[in-house]
Amino acid sequence: MEIIETKDNKIIRYENGVAQVFDVDELKAQKKDIQKRLEADKSPSDEELLAWAKVNYPFVDHSLEITELERVNKILEEIK
């Protein structure tokens, strides 16, 4: 990789037959924005994820299935 600095505050990066031109001032401005974004973007806590899941994935009522399983289980016990 070869890096060439120009007089107008640009960098030319040459690697594997590909040249890229970067504006140093623009890169510095982007770096500040990227750092702010990374510092502000924290992962949610387990409590926050659980609260989100309760809202977005509501609880399913399994009472009918449980009632049916208990009924079948009772019949099987009576057969023995």
Q: Give 10-residue mean pLDDT values along the chain (80 residues).
A: 92 93 92 87 86 83 88 90
Q: What's the confidence (pLDDT) of residue 19?
A: 94
| Cα–Cα distance for residue pair 13/19, rounded to 1 Å | 6
Inter-residue contact 28 to 21 (CB < 8 Å) = no
The tally of domains found in the chain comes to 1
User: Using alpha carbons only, what angle is made at residue 53 by residues 48 and 58, rounded to the nearest 5 degrees?
Assistant: 145
Q: What's the confidence (pLDDT) of residue 2?
A: 92
Domain of 58, in residue numbers: 2-79
Can you give the pTM of this predicted structure?
A: 0.41
Beta-carbon-side half-sphere exposure of residue 51 (alpha carbons within 13 Å): 5
Q: What's the confidence (pLDDT) of residue 69?
A: 93
